[in-house]
Amino acid sequence: MLDSFLDNPAAAAAGFFALVCLTVCPLFRTRNGILWAQLGAGAGFASHYALLGIAAPSLVNVLGLVQTLAALFSTRSEALNRIGYGLIPLMIGAGIYFWTGPTSALCVAAMGLIALGRMQSNQWTLRLLILAGGGFWLAHDYLAGAWIALTADFLSLTMGLAMLANMARAETFRPREDVSATAMPRVA
């Protein structure tokens, strides 16, 4: 494996940059933080796959970059919201155009779910869709032999699951407003 990194150091560097961005992505507590980290991961993976000569995931990641930018500003602009959702079928079309078999199907499913997740304002929906897409990327990168991306997928999924557990725990122990002592009627 070290030989493959030494044979293509640019692909290794791009993949490592993407690995770092994707690994820290779930640790952000805001939608914008997650999306900015995904922007970095998308740029890294688009370069990584292109340098490895794997066209479909590279192109879909470039489309993902544009879609992430639209998603970042979609809450302020209806047009960007439409562009963000409109790029999802384009990603699917790119995967069909560059079809190479099961890896293309996994790539398309991964980016479709993640792109749909990016458009969500609800943290739970955003994170669950991104995690679901991450599972497809994990399978894709294993089959494609993209070991840096596979490591990033595994770390990101692990961090994402930990953050979901943390969010669930925080919601479980948060006092409800309608049950607090101050909300109870006074008995005279």
Q: Which pLDDT score is estimated for 37? A: 95
Mean pLDDT of the 29-42 span? 93
Q: Which pLDDT score is estimated for 139? A: 94
> What beta strand segments (E) does 82-171 contain?
none
- Tell me: the pLDDT tens digits for 122-142? 989 999 999 999 999 899 889
pLDDT at 1 over 70: no
Range in 38-52, 60-74, 166-180 the model is least confident about:
166-180
Q: How confident is the model at residue 94 (pLDDT cuts 50, 70, 90)?
A: confident
Count CB neighbours of 136 within 10 A.
20
Q: Which pLDDT score is estimated for 10? A: 93
- H, E, C per residue of 3-71: HHHHHCHHHHHHHHHHHHHHHHHHHCCCHHHHHHHHHHHHHHHHHHHHHHCCHHHHHHHHHHHHHHHHH
Mean pLDDT of the 89-118 span? 87
Range in 8-22, 75-89, 95-109, 131-145 the model is least confident about:
95-109
AA identity, residue 89: P
In this prediction the pTM is 0.80
- Tell me: the pLDDT tens digits for 140-177? 889 988 788 889 899 999 999 999 999 888 877 665 56
Going from N- to C-terminal start, the domains of the chain cover 2-165
What is the pLDDT of the chain when averaged over all its residues? 85
Q: Which pLDDT score is estimated for 24? A: 93
Mean pLDDT of the 27-39 span? 93
Q: Which pLDDT score is estimated for 105? A: 86
Write down the number of H helices and E strands in the chain. 8, 0
**Interatomic CA distance for residues 119 and 117, integer angstroms:** 5
Short-list 179, 105, 100, 165, CA closest to 131: 165
Count CB neighbours of 152 within 10 A.
29
